[in-house]
Structure 1
Amino acid sequence: MPLQIIKSKIGNAEVFQIVECEIGFTLPSLLPDATQEKIKEIEWLKAPHINEDYSMNAVSQSFIVKLNNRLLVLDTCIGNDKIVEGAEDFTNMKLEYLEALETAGIDRTQVTDVFCSHLHFDHVGWNTYKQGGKWLPTFPNAKYHFAKGEYDYWKNESDNDPMKPIEDTSFKESVDPIVEAGLVNFIDVNTDLGDGFQVISTPGHTKSHVSLLVDAGKEKFILGGDMSHHQCQLANPDWAQTMDYDQKQSSETRRKVLTELNGTSTLFTCTHYTSPSFGKITKDANGKFVFNVVSKEIK
C-alpha cells in the first residue's frame, strides 16, 4: 500500500513527510499521565491529533528538507525487515518507503545529509535496507549525523538501560553498517551544519538527544525529534515518557524550548506528530503552553 506523502513550503525550504505507519496505539503505555480524561481538558487539542474518544494519534515518519542545495532526511523511521525485540507489530515490516521517496521525487542517491535526532530503533531504521542478506546504506552518498555522546552511550554505558536489548539489535542492523561504511559524521550537541541547519541540544529522552533548527529565510522551524511524542506534552511539559533516559531532564528541556518559542514566529514540530504537524507556541490565560496549528501543506 502506498505511504502518505505530505509536502509543505516553509520559507525557502521544501519539506516532505514520508509517513511510515500509525503508532498511536503505543502512547497510552508510553505516556501514562495522558489519560483520556486529562486529554479532554486540553481545549485546543483537536482532531486529527486526537480522536472523538480523546485517545491520541501519532505516526512514525521522516521529515525531508530541501534547502540551499542540501537534501536532508531527519529520522528514518522503523524500516523494513528489522527485528524489534518484543514488538511484533514493528518486526519484519514490508512497507513502501523507498517507493514513496521515488513518488515524492526524492532520489536517495542525491540525499546529502541524514540527521538522527537520537538512535532509538524507530529513528534509524531506514538508515539501511537489506539486499542479498546484507544491510546497505539507504542514502549511500549522504553524511549521517549522529551525536557523539548518543553513540558512545549506547555502545559503552547503556547496560542497565531498558532499551538495551532492542538497541543492540537495532545497532547491528541500522547503525553499525553506516559506521563501517565510513558515512558517519559524529557531531557535538550544538553544531552548525551550514546552509541554515543548526543542531540544538535537547537532552532527556535520551542522553544526547538533539533537534534541528532550520533557517529557511523568511521563516524558521524546529524539527524536535522525540523532545515530545504528542502535542499534549506541550500543554503539560511534565508529562514524561516512560522510556525517557531522564524524565526530569526531558521535562526541563520541553519547558526551556517552549519558553524560548513562546510568542515567536518559529514553527515547531516533532517526529511523531500527526499532520498538520507544525505549529507556533503561545501561552493561554492560565500561563499554559498552546500549540497553534499552522498548515503549510501544498496540495
Structure 2
Amino acid sequence: MIETVQVEVGRGRPAFPVDILTLGQARIVRIPDIDRIEWPATALFDALTADDLRAAAGLVPAGTVDAEAATLLLSFNVYLIQTPAFTALIDAGIGNGKQRLDRPAWHRRDGPFLDLLGRLGVRPESVDIVVNTHLHADHVGWNTVLGDAGWEPTFPRARYVAPRAEFDHWNRLHRVEPSAPVLHGAFADSVLPLEDAGCLDLVGSSAEIAPGLRFEPAAGHSPGMCVVRLTLDAASVLFTADVLHHPLQFARRELVSNFCADPQAARATRERILTENAGTGTILAPYHFASPAFGRLQREAAGARFVPLPLSSAQA
C-alpha cells in the first residue's frame, strides 16, 4: 500500500502530493520536482498518431493520455530512500535557478523541492548519497544550488554517484567546446561543480553504491545510463530512470522516446528489463510516471502489464 500525502510547503504554494512506500525499516518516497505536466505527445514519441492516442485510452491508467489535446501526462520524480544504514536520493530533478533557455518549463524555476524534503524531516546535510542514473538536465538539477561563490553541492555531506561512462561521454563534448551548453548547460552548472568540490564518485555500470543499493547497466537512452536496484528483506525496488517515459510503453513496446540517443539499444534495454522483472514481485519506481508511480510487472502472454500499487491518502 502506498500512502499519498499532501505536503504543505507554505509561501503561498499549493500542497504537493508525495507517495510514501514503507518496506520493513525502509521508507521510499516519490517527490515530484514537477508534478503532472501535460506534455505534447509527439514531442515525446514522434511516431504517435491521433488514432494511436484515441486507441491508447483503454491501455493506460486513466488521465495519463488526453487524445483530444494530444498530450501525455508526465512527472519529474526524485526518489528519497531512508534506511537504518543511509539516506539517499535517486536522481536530482530539474533544480532551481538554472538557465535553460531552450526548455521554458525548466528555466530559472523556483520550485519547493527542498521545502518538501524539510517537511519530510530531511535536511540537506542529512543526505548521505545522491545517485545520478544519467546526466540529462532533468535528472541532475538539484545536485547544486547557487552560493556566494557560484554553483555548489546542495547536499554538503553527500557522495554523488554517477556512471563513469556517462560522465566521460559528456566531458569529452565539454572539453571540445567548453563554452557550449552541453546538456542545456547542466554539465557546467550541475555536474562539474561536484568534481570541483571533490564529491563526485564515478563508478562502473554494475557497481555497489551502498549495502543493498547498486547500479545495473541500461544504456540506450543515454550513453552510460544505469538503473538502480534496492534490495531489502521485504522486497526489491528498481528505479528505472528513463528506461520508460510513459505507461503507454507497456502496451506499445516498440515506442522509443525522441530523447533516446540510440533507439535500438534503448528498445532492447527496455525489453530486457521488463522481461527480467516481470512476475518477480520487483517494485518499479519510474522517473516520469505520475502518481501512482510505484507498481509491479504482471507477466502475461503478450509480455508484461504494469499494475500500480494501491494508494491511500493522508495529510502532512
Matches within 5 A, 1:32-51: 32-35=46-49, 37-42=51-56, 43-51=58-66
Q: Structure 1, unaligned stretches of length 5 or more?
A: none
Q: Does 1:242 align with 2:258?
A: yes
Instruction: Tell me which of 29, 33, 36 is aligned to 1:20.
Output: 33
For the aligned residue pairs, the C-alpha RMSD in angstroms reads 2.2
Inter-partner Cα distance in structure 2 for 1:121 and 1:260: 29
Which residue identity lines up with residue 21 of structure 2 in the other structure? S
Aligned length: 295
Maintained 8 Å contact 1:9/1:297: no
Change beyond 3 A, Cα 1:295–1:72: farther
Matched position secondary structure for 1:88: coil
Distance in 2, matches of 1:24 and 1:244, equals: 20
Partner of 1:94: 110
Structure 2 SS opposite 1:89: coil
Q: Deviations over 1:193-233 (max 9, x none)?
A: 23210210011000010011111212111001111111111
Cα deviation, residue 283, structure 1: 3.8
1:146 partner SS: strand
**With structure 1 as the length reference, what TM-score do the two structures score?**
0.91
Identity of counterpart residues, as a percentage?
Answer: 23
Give the whole-Å Cα distance in 2 for the aligned partners of 1:205 and 1:44: 24
Change (3 A) 1:46 1:86: same
* Aligned residue number for residue 8 of structure 2: none
- 1:78 is the counterpart of 2:94: yes
Kindly indicate whether the alpha-carbon contact (under 8 Å) linking 1:3 and 1:97 is maintained by their aligned counterparts in 2: no
Alpha-carbon distance between aligned partners in 2 of 1:182 and 1:30, rounded to the nearest angstrom: 36
Query: Counterpart of 1:24 in 2: which secondary structure?
Result: strand
- Cα distance in 2 between the residues matched to 1:40 and 1:292: 21
Give 1:234 shift. Answer: 2.1
Structure 2 spans left out of the alignment, 5+ residues: 1-12
Distance 1:294 1:5, change over 3 A: closer
The residue number in structure 2 matching 1:109 is 125
Asked if structure 1 preserves the Cα contact closer than 8 Å seen for 2:206 and 2:216, the reply is: yes
Deviation at 1:123, TM superposition (A): 0.3
Query: Structure 2 CA distance, aligned partners of 1:221 and 1:298?
Result: 22
- Counterpart CA distance in 2 for 1:295 and 1:175 is 36
Q: In structure 2, how many angstroms separate the alpha carbons of the residues matched to 1:24 and 1:12?
A: 35
What residue identity is the alignment partner of 1:45? V
The worse-fitting range, judged by mean Cα deviation, of 118-127 and 68-77 is 68-77
Whether 2:302 is the aligned partner of 1:290: answer no
